[in-house]
A and B are shown apart, each in its own frame.
Chain A
Amino acid sequence: MSKARLGEEFWKKTDKVNAELFVLTYGSIVAQLCKEYDDYAQVNKELDNMGYNIGVRLIEDFLARTNIGRCKDFCETAEVIAKIGFKLFLNITPTVTNFSPDNKQFSLIFDENPLSDFVELPDDGRAQDELWYSNILCGVLKGALEMIQLQVEAHFVSDVLRGNDHTEMRVVLIKVIDDELPLSEI
């Protein structure tokens, strides 16, 4: 079965909640962080950190529900993230594109982003340049992938909220962590 079909199948079996509740709740926490930190860079960092904490736990849920085996390479990982991971949790399928020649970097393009629906960045002259509103997603990817021995770096390079044409996240594989038990010993 294709990854996209698999994603659909899993999505059907998922318990769901109203997307608006999710959007507003996320908005509320971002607003809270902006209030607590003067600096948007700090807000980005905290969102990333929150995402990391989520990712670390989310991967377990993901693996338990999908029962997907090990990906053969980073390209397949990218496809699973986009077509199954995002589908399963946020009901979206970002496009995977711009692989680097060594296949260690790719971009996720978000045509739709449920985190930022109905959002307008404050007109304070800084948020447009400094705040990555959906930064929590970068943290989620980092945390989740780290749990399956892939150390990655993820960051947004553009965001429609900032007036860019599209929302793009760049994911870079730093290294494969080799602290796994040999398969024969499991």
Chain B
Amino acid sequence: MSSGSSKISTYKKTSIFERNLNRIKGTEISQAAFSFLFGEIVRYTQKRVQGIYELEKRLNIQGYRVGQKLLELIRILQFIFSNVWKALFNKQADALEKSKENEDEYMIVDNEPMVNKYISVPKEMAYFDCAAFIAGIVEAIMDGSQFPSKVTAHSVPTQGFPNRTVILIKINESVLEREKYLK
């Protein structure tokens, strides 16, 4: 990442993209733990406001933040990576990665895109990739979820997977600004 001072780069940083996406999906914690935490948030907030109106407004802002997170970038990418791929192709995509070079790029990798399966591309069209179609699907979902992006497909064959395709998602600048603001 570009903004790292020399100090930061000494940390062994495991990005959240390297962790299991569905780690806490469906897991639970005790209701008491939540209630205690929430109660404390209310108490904390109450100390800093005058009147109920302001208290409610502050809690509203806190809740809003949770709501926004539920619609977060990574979550929508996850959603495409697993749910959309499963619905369309009956399998998960093979990898979801963040570009190392560019802050605004994410990649969904499919080792064997269904659309490429029965189509052989002539040599002179080596750069053509039918997965452009899938890229279009992804782009529509990103746009529709308020994460406008430019999505393109690129064949990146490997030894084992001649049809391996990378769906490159380049996120609109406005989204990154928004995400920054939300942090």
Determine the distance from Cα of A29 to Cα of B65 in the docked complex, in whole angstroms: 10
Q: Interface size for chain A: under 10, 10 to 19, 20 to 34, or 35 or more residues?
A: 35 or more
Number of interface residues of B (CB under 8 A): 39
Partner of B29, one of A19, A24, A119: A19
Determine the distance from Cα of A21 to Cα of B105 in the docked complex, in whole angstroms: 28
With A21-B34, A24-B66, A32-B62 already in contact, the answer to whether A89 and B29 are too (CB < 8 A) is yes
Q: Is the CB of A89 within 8 A of B65?
A: no
With A50-B40, A54-B36 already in contact, the answer to whether A31 and B183 are too (CB < 8 A) is yes
A28 an interface residue at 8 Å Cβ cutoff? Answer: yes
Cβ distance A160 to chain B, nearest Cβ, rounded Å? 7
A90 an interface residue at 8 Å Cβ cutoff? Answer: yes
Q: Is the CB of B66 within 8 A of A25?
A: yes
Q: Is the CB of A53 within 8 A of B40?
A: yes
Closest to A53 in B: B40
| 0 or 1 for each of A54-83: is its CB under 8 Å from B? (1 = yes) | 100110010000000000000000000000
Q: Is the CB of A57 within 8 A of B31?
A: no
Determine the distance from Cα of A136 to Cα of B33 in the docked complex, in whole angstroms: 12
Q: Chain A binding site: helix, strand, loop or mixed by DSSP?
A: helix
Determine the distance from Cα of A117 to Cα of B3 in the docked complex, in whole angstroms: 24
Q: Is the CB of A17 within 8 A of B70?
A: no
Give residues in A with beta carbon < 8 Å to B.
Answer: 11, 14-29, 31-32, 46, 50, 53-54, 57-58, 61, 88-91, 114, 117-120, 122-123, 125, 128, 136, 160, 162-163
Give residues in B with beta carbon < 8 Å to A.
Answer: 1, 3-5, 7-8, 11-16, 23-25, 27-34, 36-41, 43-44, 62-63, 65-66, 69-70, 74, 183
